[in-house]
Amino acid sequence: MTLAELIAQARTALDTAITARQQEQDALVALRSDPNLTEDAVAARVATRDTADTEVTRRQTALDELLTEQARDEEIAALSARTVPAATRAPAYDRVARVGSEARTYRPDQDRRGRQFEQDVAAAFLGDYDARDRLSQHMREERVERPEVVERAAGTGAFTGLVVPQYLTDLYAPAAAARRPFADSCRPHDLPPQGMTVNISRITTATSTALQASENTNVSETDIDDTLLPVSVQTNAGQQTLSRQAIERGAGVEPVVLDDLFRRYATTLDSTLLNQATNGLSNVATAVAYTSGTPTGVGLYPKVLEGLSGVEAALLDMATGDNIAVMHSRRWYWLQNALGSTWPLITQPGIVAQTLGANYATTYGSGVRGVLPNGTPVIVDNNIATNLGAGTNEDEIYLVDRQECHLWEDPNAPMYIRAEQAKLASLGVLMVVYGYFAYTHARYPQARKIGGTGLVTPAFNGQ
């Protein structure tokens, strides 16, 4: 039995002795409350309690002795580690893996594409001993820094446990995605836990007031009425089947695939909010035409104000003033390219005079990219279609009160299912990402969209 096992055994014995002593003490307290108590009974119980006390002391002493012995053993081991016998010769410098301040054998700052590693693998097959030494040194470094990967990959190829340098896998390039800039700007709600429809009551016939014609005549009366606005709950989902070999023998394959599924999920959700037939923003917004054979930023801006005017006119006292303009990145950069000598006559808060707005220089998908001359925030979203119009080369600009762009999402979405049984016979693992959502831009018909020949593929010519 080892010293550690003896210590564990002593701790258990001490715990048992303490429990027994506590039971004796509890019994003594209970006895003293007995009305028929005798001195002999109390004395006997006290003696039993004292015996239990003695056992606790004995067990504690035994444990302390073992712990003292263990501490001394650790001191001796530490002293031994610091003592190097004179007869022992240190290994050669190049035969020891040094990790820390010493540079790795294969370094991303010197060989980002990993060509040296690949050349050494090929050369080792042809008998190049220097290449084999470098690969062996690399494997010793990997065992120190990534032991879990080395053990998992043991036995691959012609070299036992040969592992590709980490920097060749952690710089993978994920597939670009438009993701969800507009969806993140919508008014968020938690999706109800049950049901496949969200119902909203809209007052479509209002009450009325009017001037009374004369005294004692009837005053105006109109019966209030509502219309139900049903909003369907939709399912956004995608799947991918991976081989067990790819997951178990690859480096980071499953997280890479899962990340890509999440990117597609976000992109599909956002594109649905913008482009879905019937209910998407492009299909519920009222059109504002910008027709021009030579479009300019200065010519487009009045249409923006026309659209915003329509938004407020539709909402009246329900307007929050929290308006946004949603446009494609090509349109946003085209506006920044515009130059001119005509400026708004009315200045706006936060906008430098004689400019066509302000660019905040934030990254794509990080929120507001800038503001227009009247202070309206701009959301750049590349899920906006660029193949509209007769020439299939137009995009649209959307102007909305963001508080009237409603999005219900499950707080836990997207969900992830990893199913192994479904593809067991082929050693496959099925990965599924899904989520439920509902949306509407039609609680009030307030949205506006600018479209037309003035929004064809932009020419960056300073106009």
Quick: pLDDT tens for 6-26. Answer: 887 888 888 888 888 888 887
pLDDT of residue 118: 63
pLDDT of residue 153: 45
Decide which of 74, 108, 137 is a domain's last residue: 74
Placement of tokens 């009237």 in the chain: 404
Interacting residues of 70 by C-beta distance below 8 A, sequence separation 6+: 3, 4, 7
- The answer to whether residue 82 sits within a structural domain is no
CA angle 296, 302, 304 (to 5 degrees): 95
Q: Do residue 36 and residue 142 come from a single domain?
A: no
pLDDT of residue 95: 53
Q: Do residue 147 and residue 47 come from a single domain?
A: no
Give first-to-last CA distance, the chain, whole Å. 87
- The answer to whether residue 217 sits within a structural domain is no
Which residue in 183, 181, 178, 180 sits closest to 441, CA to CA? 183
Ranges of the chain with pLDDT below 50: 84-88, 152-160
* Residue type at position 349: P
Pairing of strands 415-419, 428-440: antiparallel
How many other C-beta atoms lie within 10 A of the C-beta of residue 117?
Answer: 21
- The answer to whether residue 212 sits within a structural domain is no
Q: Do residue 416 and residue 292 come from a single domain?
A: yes
Interacting residues of 352 by C-beta distance below 8 A, sequence separation 6+: 358
Tokens at residue 34, please? 């007995």
pLDDT of residue 366: 87
Element spanning 10, H or E: helix 3-32
The answer to whether 135 and 162 have CB atoms below 8 angstroms apart is: yes
pLDDT of residue 80: 66
Determine the structural domain holding residue 16 and report its residue range.
Answer: 3-74
pLDDT of residue 96: 53
Domain count, the chain: 3
How many other C-beta atoms lie within 10 A of the C-beta of residue 188?
Answer: 12
Q: Do residue 281 and residue 320 come from a single domain?
A: yes
- The 377-380 sheet, strands edge to edge: 286-289, 448-451, 397-401, 323-327, 377-380, 370-371, 358-359
Which residue in 137, 156, 125 sits closest to 251, CA to CA? 156
Q: Do residue 41 and residue 103 come from a single domain?
A: no
Q: Do residue 187 and residue 276 come from a single domain?
A: yes
pLDDT of residue 163: 65
- The answer to whether residue 262 sits within a structural domain is yes
Q: pLDDT digits over 176-232, tens only?
A: 999 999 999 999 999 999 999 999 999 999 999 999 999 999 999 999 999 999 999
